[in-house]
Amino acid sequence: MKATIWHNPRCSKSREALAILSDTPGVDVTVIEYLKHPPSRATLAGLYAKAGISPRDGLRRNEPEAKALAGASDAAILDAMAENPILIERPLVETEKGVRLGRPPERVRDVL
């Protein structure tokens, strides 16, 4: 099985999710450091749709830039995330079974 993780190596939850993926037999993991290689707005929209969550659910609310998005539309949130990827909550994991936001990291098992 192939799995893609949008990962921040400085984030403990992201590292834990990556360890789950790496320790699962038969999983071929592609790691994308999303701060270095940000997903496009369209990619983010697709990931959130597959995960069954809104862009607001994928917003990293504790970032100072997120406060300005309190009443923003999903479209505005996606635009902000594409422009400033630190606003993307991590990790996001995609397999052929779906997409999960790894908060807590054990949630990635749902798509393995």
Domain boundaries, the chain: 2-111
How far, in Å, CA of 71 to CA of 36, rounded?
Answer: 28
19 classed as catalytic:
no
Name the CATH code of domain 2-111 (choices 3.40.30.10, 3.20.20.70, 3.30.470.20, 2.60.120.1600). 3.40.30.10
Which one of 11, 31, 72, 112 is the catalytic residue? 11
**DSSP of 49-94:** HHHT--GGGGB-TTSGGGGGGTT--HHHHHHHHHH-GGGB-S-EEE
Predicted TM-score (pTM) of this structure: 0.93
- pLDDT tens by residue, 40-78: 999 999 999 999 999 999 999 999 999 999 999 999 999
Beta bridge partners of 4: 30, 94
Taking each helix axis as running N to C, give the angle between helix 74-83 and helix 41-51, from 0 to 180 degrees, rounded to the nearest 10.
130
What are the Cα distances from residue 63, in Å, to 20, 50, 56, 78, 107? 26, 24, 13, 15, 23
Confidence of residue 110 (pLDDT cuts 50, 70, 90): very high
Q: Which amino acid is at 7?
A: H
